[in-house]
Amino acid sequence: MSVNKKHLATFILGAAAGVAAHKYLQTEDGEKLLSDLKTKANDLKSEAEQAVDKAPEYFEELKTKGSDLLKSNFPDAEQFLKELFEKITGKAPDTDPGNQPADPTPAS
C-alpha cells in the first residue's frame, strides 16, 4: 500500500487536531470540560447500575401484570391453551415446574 498525498494530509490533519485538543484541555475551560464530562459519566454509570439492580423486580412486575391482564381480558385463554396442548401432544401439560424431568431427551 503506497502513501499518497491524501493519506499524508489526513495524517497531518489528525495530528494537528490531537495537538489542538491537548492544548485546549490544558486550559481552565478544558479542565472544566473534563471535570463536567467525568461527573456526567459517573452519573450515567450510577444510573445504569441502579437500572441493572432494579431489572429483575421490574420484569417480575411486568410478568405479573401481563398475566393478570391476560386473565382478565381473556379468561378462557388458559383452558384453550391446555386443550390445544393436549390435542397436539396427546397428553395433559405438566403445570408443576418442580415436576420437570432432568433430561428431556429420550434414551437411545
Domain presence at residue 71: yes
16, part of any domain: no
Query: Looking up cell 391482564, which residue turns up?
Result: 69
Enter the pTM of the model. 0.44
Could you read off the pLDDT of 89-103 as tens digits, one per residue? 887 766 555 555 555
Average pLDDT over residues 47-65: 92
Among 21-25, 69-73, 103-107, where is mean pLDDT lowest? 103-107
In a domain, 4, yes or no: no
Residue 23 has pLDDT above 90, yes or no: yes
In a domain? residue 45? yes
Torsion of CA 34, 38, 40, 46, to 10 degrees: 180
Mean pLDDT of the region 69-78 = 82
Say if 48 falls within a structural domain: yes
Rounded Cα distance, 46 and 23, in Å: 31
Q: Are 31 and 25 in contact (CB under 8 A)?
A: yes
What gap in Å lies between CA 101 and CA 108, rounded to an integer?
16
Give the count of beta carbons closer than 10 Å to the beta carbon of residue 80: 10
The total domain count for the chain is 1
Domain presence at residue 107? no
Return the pLDDT at 36: 95
- Residue 64 placed within a domain: yes
Rounded CA separation 77/66 (Å)? 13
